[in-house]
Every structure is written in C-alpha cells, then in structure tokens.
A and B are shown apart, each in its own frame.
Chain A
Amino acid sequence: MVPRNGKNLNVPAPRHRPGEEPEFDDLDIPNAGAIPKPDVMTDPKAMFDYANSMIRVLDMKNKAVGEWDPKMSADDMRRGLTDMLTTRIYDDRMQNMQRVGKMSFYMKSRGEEAVAVAQAMALDDKDMLFPSYRQQGLLISRGRDMLDMMNHCLSNSKDNCKGRQLPIMYTWREGNFFSISGNLGTQFCQAVGWAVASAYKGEEAIASTWIGEGTTAESDFHHGMTFAAVYNAPVILNVVNNQWAISSFQGIAGGEKATFASRGIGYGMPGLRVDGNDFLAVYAATKWAAERARRGGGATMIELFTYRVGGHSTSDDPGKYRPEDESEVWPLGDPIERLKSHLIEIDEWSEQRHEQAIQEITAVVTKKYKEAESYGTLNSGPRPEVSSMFEDVFKEMPDNLRRQRQKLGV
C-alpha cells in the first residue's frame, strides 16, 4: 500500500464493501430545527451555509421542529404518507412481476419516496416535471392511474409509450410529466428551457427537474446550472444524492470534496441541502424554492440527501458492491417510518390505521395489476400494433418509412 501523501493518484472508495460492517458515525448531521428559514428572496451570497448544512424538520423523537416546519395539515401529511406507501407497494409488486418474467426491467425507488411525493405536493399541478428515472412517486402523487403506469411497464396494448421505451421511462403529458429519456442528465437543461419559455410568456408555471448525484458529473448538469443562472429561469434543480450510482459511491462524482448543494454557490444560486428522508423538510424546501422562482427570484438548487435502499435496477445485485445491511444503519432512517411516527406522535395516525392502509393499497395494486395483465405483457402480448413502430418518428411519415413498413409486411 502506497501511503497517501498527496502526490499519489487518488481514486475515491466507499467506506465499506461487502463483508465489512457498515457505519456512518462520522456523517455530520445537524439537529432538526437547527437552521433558520430565510426570506425566499434572500441574496444567494447570504446563503452559503445552507449548502453545507442540512435542512431537517423531524427530530429523533418524531416531532416537527424549527422554522422550516411547513405546518402541514394532518390530512395533507396522511395523503403524503399514503402516496409514499402506494409508491412502495407499487414498486414491490412490479419488481416481483419483473422477477417472474412479466417485464424486461424495473427500477424501485425504495427509501427515496419522500423526494418525489413531498416535492409533487409542494408544486402546483401546472408546474412541469422533468424527472429522472426514480421519481415514480411524482406520478402517484399527481394522481395518475396506476393501471396506465403498469400498462406502460408491461409494454402491452395500452402502453402510452406504444412499446418503444424500457419499463419505468414514463411519459404523461396530461399530468405535466415529461417523457423520461433513459439517457442520464439530458433533461436537466431542457427543464431550464421550459422554464425560460414560461418566463418569456409571463406565465406562472415553473419547472422542476431531478438528476442523480452521479450524473452531476455530466456536462448537462453544468449547462443546466449555467443557463438557469444566466436567464434567471423559474426552475428547481434537484440533485437526488442517494449515495450510489449503480456501484459507484457519491465520492466518484466528487462528493467527498464538496457537498452537491454547494455546486449552486458558484453559479450564484441558493443551494439548499435537505434531509431527503424527512418528508416535511423536503416539502418545505421545495415550497421555498417554488415561491422564489414564482416571484422572479430564479433557480434554486436542492440536494436531497437520501439513500438508495434497493439495487440500481433489476439488472444489478447491490450485495456485490456494498454491505447488504448498509441501508439498515443509514442514520437518516426511512421516510415512510419517520412520517408515520410523526403522525402517530401527534395522534393523527395509528399502527392499526397504517396496517389497514397497507392492506387497502395492496388490494388496489393487486387488482390493478391483474387488469393490466389482461391488456397484455411483453412476452405473451398483446403488444401495441407492430405497424405502429414506424409512426411518430416524424409528425408525418416519409416515403422511406412507408416503404420499409411495407417491406416488413405490416
């Protein structure tokens, strides 16, 4: 082993690999409520500390504390909780169905449900969402019929992507949810473009986009940040720091050198670092950024500090690159458990109601899945019409595609 003396090549490595005992004792996590809430139009130059600390509302006793407490109604919190539960139960069902060969691929969002659900609730329905691939909670929260989501994942006859996209690359125009690319990071600056157009037209709607901490290394991230800053775009630029990009830990994207939120400082925009497993903190920070954007304050960057509990997708085994039980010792806990405990703490929820909710949601998911399968699966069909694969390349089909379709005999 060559000693690290500053001259040797530095290749960052995570603290624990399989077989080692995971611990996060040296993570610097401020107490809930420790950070004041600034006015939404505060000069970014006065907000550097927000990029290096962490906005937290729910304390270790499950109480909501401090200036960032959004004072959500119990009804709204229950809705957030059940939407997170729905997302998780939906994910589990779909992953299981992938395992038995009903679909080609799946990606769960376990552990990150607060990111999508709380942020969807903090935004207006007319705000445009440019998600990455692990924000299915946005769809659940905005009320998309789960059946349509399943139809897409099964690539069946009712798939609104018409069998052209991998499962979970949703698109939902009616719900102002942009088509998920599958190429990483490309949506980041597109969201800025959407927001610039909104500003140009003098409209109220803002855009919000999500990128993983690993993808901040792509040039698209820099483009999004630069263009958002230059044009003062009404956009929220979220970095979901779930610690892992397939098998690469966040240090491979430069996370050991500086927080991801602090990337915002150099572009002259506020960088808020938020406990991503704290539903109330995520909601409050997003509300703050949305109001700032709507009032002409421009873009805010939010780092959502969370943990990817599952594998990257159904195609990798996380046990090969990190300790199996790492998620269990994640010091910021589980977003569903934390909000549930808070609601119980304030006498607005109970274990019994929680169990009942799980049963009801499971029944709905099971029923919807059965119906979705009745419209086909990738393997058994029916799929969308084969001839449709030549459509939508262009608005109007050119002759060469018409001839190729004839050649295929469809």
Chain B
Amino acid sequence: MTKMNMVQAINSAQDVMLEKDPAVVIFGEDVGYFGGVFNCTEGLQKKYGIQRVFDTPIAEGGIIALAIGMGVNEMRPVTEIQFSDYIYPAFDQIVSEASRLRYRSGGEYWAPITIRTPCGGGIRGGQTHSQSPEGIFTHVSGIKTIMPSNPYDAKGLLISAIEDDDPVVFFEPKRLYNGPFAGDPKAPAQSWDAHAKGEVPDGHYRIPIGKAETVREGKDLTIVTYGTMVHVSLAAAERSGFDVEVIDLRTLTPLDIDHIATSVCRTGRCVIVHEATKTGGFGAEILSQIQENCFWKLEAPIERVAGWDIPYPHAFEWEYFPGQGRVMDAIKKVMEG
C-alpha cells in the first residue's frame, strides 16, 4: 500500500495495465512526453516507450475513431480526452460507433476502449473546463459510465474499465485529483494522505463495474450521489443533525439500483446530489427508478440537489456549485417537510 492522490492512482492503474498487457496503449492530447495536463500519464512514455504512450492531433473524434480501429485489431486502447468539455467532437464516434459496434455487427466486432476524461468544476475553469456531461452518456445504450470519488476506487475501477471488453467513459472529478473536497473553497485544502481511500495497493486489483458503495450508514435518510458530491454530501450529513446514509454510486451505468432501493426502502427518505445541471440530469433517472422500486415505502418526496440549469459561470463558480448548504437544506426539507 502506498499513499496516493487521485492523479497518482490513475497513473498507477495505467502503469499496471501497460506492464501487464502488451495490447494496452495510451494516447491523447499532450499525454506523451509531457504526461498530460493533469499529470495522469506522467512518466509512462519514458517507461514504456513512445509507441505505447503517445500524443495525438487535437481531434477528439479522430482519437476515438483511432481507438475503435485499434480495438478491432486486438489492441486495448486507453484514451484521454483532455477535459470532458472537449468530448463533444467525439460524440458521434462514441454514441454511434463504439457503443453500437458489438450490437450492429451481431457480435462480430466490438470496441474494448476506455475514454478517460476529467470533469466537474471548482477549479476556476469557467464554462469550458468545468462541465459534468455524464448524463449525456448515461442515456446511451452500449457504453458504461463511471465516476470515482477517491484514489482507491479510481485505480480499481480504471483497471476494470481497461480490462472490460465494452467501451467505458471514465469521468475523473478533477477537483478531487489532489485531495477530498467538501465544497468549501475557503477551507484549508485537504490531502488524500489523511483519507482512508488514499491508501492504494501498488499492484493490480479491480473494483467491480456496476457496484455502488455505502460510504456512511444511517437510518433517517439516504443520499445518493457520486464524484465530488460524495464529499460534500458526507460533510452535510455530519452537520445535519440527522442519521444520514450516503451511497457513492461509483458506476452510473449499469446502475446498481438494487443497492439504492434497499437503502431507500429502509430509510424512506432520499436526496439525490450531483454537480451536473438539473433538468434531464442523471438524478432524474435515479429518482424515477427509486419511485418505481420504493414508492410505497417513501415517507416524503425525494429532493434533488444539482447544478443550476445554466452554463458553469466563471465568476460565480461557488454560487453554481451545489455546496453543503444546499444539501443540508434538502435534508431538512425531506426530514421535516
């Protein structure tokens, strides 16, 4: 075990897979010599050579098309889309090609590709470096979507993603790269060193795709969340005065609805928290499925806490970001009506 931050854990997952499987190659914008704008591939080109870890032209659609073609030719490509805000030029290759190749070819061909991409705000990135577009991908059949909230999960899930024979979009909440973040930008920065999930095995291990985790047990209310909002929700739960359970989804699709439903049917109350904009967001899908599974056990209407339905505004970042206050308001409302 080694203390790792999320960047190091993600780097380690790729290191382990490059070592283990000669079919694994890593490419994307600036990922080679430079090691990526967030350092997630630092040192890997030096260690494994320029043919296994290399830079690409600035063309996200081309990057994913290249990955699909290489995947068809028995490789296992891991791509980086530098910011998830830049993923849209690759949208067609992801949703029309990678996601449906196995299906449309009757199982003859498939795309065993991983698409890593940093997401989320809180880094003064403005509307082009802060988005959380996961809900656009959870709507697409044929791809898996993952968003870890800590170094241990990030490494284990990334290894699972790389080894998976289906396309995976792997969202990395960039506000968590260097430490857990509970939503208060004025609070002193936390390090992963002091966090239990900052202890990461050096070698190979997997976290199963499609399995949620209860990160705080409670009897009064269930918060369903993922990514950066796991830490915000945990802090809000502590401060709320109620006995709140917090579930970290980790994988968005396929959704671990059984895990969620078991908890909500027990507590009878639920708040769903994500950073992405509210309307049509993944929270709406979670809410619908909870309603389908737990309606007669619910004691109160379910609340959603999400980003406002606006682009991520540069100067109003913390008014946009759903912080502890909004989560606590939602808990109070669901508990007290």
5 closest cross-chain pairs (CB), A and B: A193-B69, A223-B62, A189-B65, A197-B73, A179-B105
Query: Bound state CA distance, A185 and B72, in angstroms?
Result: 17
Are A193 and B65 in contact, with the CB atoms below 8 A? Answer: yes
Residue in B closest to A225 when the chains form the complex, CB atoms: B62
Q: List 13 A-B contacts (CB under 8 A).
A: A171-B105, A179-B108, A186-B65, A186-B92, A186-B96, A190-B97, A193-B68, A193-B77, A196-B66, A198-B73, A223-B62, A227-B56, A394-B142
Cβ of B100 to closest chain A Cβ, rounded Å: 8
Are A165 and B104 in contact, with the CB atoms below 8 A? Answer: yes
Are A179 and B101 in contact, with the CB atoms below 8 A? Answer: yes
Are A193 and B73 in contact, with the CB atoms below 8 A? Answer: yes
**Given known A-B contacts A183-B92, A392-B102, A398 and B210 have beta carbons under 8 A apart:** yes
Query: Bound state CA distance, A195 and B258, in angstroms?
Result: 43
B 55-79 binary contact with A (CB < 8 Å = 1; else 0): 0110101100111111111110100
**Given known A-B contacts A190-B68, A197-B73, A394 and B102 have beta carbons under 8 A apart:** yes
Are A193 and B57 in contact, with the CB atoms below 8 A? Answer: no
Contacts of A165 in B (CB 8 A): 104
From A161, A198, A227, A398, contact of B62 by CB (8 A): A227
Query: Bound state CA distance, A226 and B164, in angstroms?
Result: 29
Residue in A closest to B210 when the chains form the complex, CB atoms: A398
From A186, A196, A201, A222, contact of B93 by CB (8 A): A186
Cβ of A130 to closest chain B Cβ, rounded Å: 8
Are B66 and A193 in contact, with the CB atoms below 8 A? Answer: yes
Query: Bound state CA distance, A164 and B107, in angstroms?
Result: 11
Are A393 and B141 in contact, with the CB atoms below 8 A? Answer: yes
Contacts of B73 in A (CB 8 A): 128, 193-194, 197-198, 201
Are A223 and B65 in contact, with the CB atoms below 8 A? Answer: yes
A 266-307 binary contact with B (CB < 8 Å = 1; else 0): 000000000000000000000000000000000000000000
Query: Bound state CA distance, A200 and B49, in angstroms?
Result: 12
Are B104 and A391 in contact, with the CB atoms below 8 A? Answer: no
Residue in A closest to B75 when the chains form the complex, CB atoms: A197
**Which of B92, B164, B210 counts the most chain A CB atoms within 10 A?**
B92
Contacts of B254 in A (CB 8 A): 398-400
**Given known A-B contacts A186-B93, A193-B68, A200 and B75 have beta carbons under 8 A apart:** yes
Query: Bound state CA distance, A226 and B165, in angstroms?
Result: 28
Are A190 and B69 in contact, with the CB atoms below 8 A? Answer: yes
- Counting CB contacts under 8 A, is B241 at the interface? no
Are A181 and B108 in contact, with the CB atoms below 8 A? Answer: no
- Counting CB contacts under 8 A, is A191 at the interface? yes
Contacts of A196 in B (CB 8 A): 66, 69-70
Are A219 and B69 in contact, with the CB atoms below 8 A? Answer: no
From B61, B103, B110, B144, contact of A189 by CB (8 A): B61
Are A193 and B141 in contact, with the CB atoms below 8 A? Answer: no
From A182, A194, A224, A395, contact of B102 by CB (8 A): A395
Contacts of A188 in B (CB 8 A): 65
Query: Bound state CA distance, A182 and B70, in angstroms?
Result: 20
Residue in B closest to A179 when the chains form the complex, CB atoms: B105
Are A197 and B74 in contact, with the CB atoms below 8 A? Answer: yes
Query: Bound state CA distance, A128 and B61, in angstroms?
Result: 21
Are B104 and A164 in contact, with the CB atoms below 8 A? Answer: yes
- Counting CB contacts under 8 A, is B25 at the interface? yes
From A161, A183, A197, A395, contact of B70 by CB (8 A): A197
Are A393 and B66 in contact, with the CB atoms below 8 A? Answer: no
- Counting CB contacts under 8 A, is B242 at the interface? no
- Counting CB contacts under 8 A, is A58 at the interface? no
Residue in B closest to A226 when the chains form the complex, CB atoms: B57
Are B108 and A171 in contact, with the CB atoms below 8 A? Answer: yes
- Counting CB contacts under 8 A, is B33 at the interface? no
Query: Bound state CA distance, A394 and B141, in angstroms?
Result: 9
A 216-245 binary contact with B (CB < 8 Å = 1; else 0): 000110111011001000000000000000
Are A220 and B104 in contact, with the CB atoms below 8 A? Answer: no
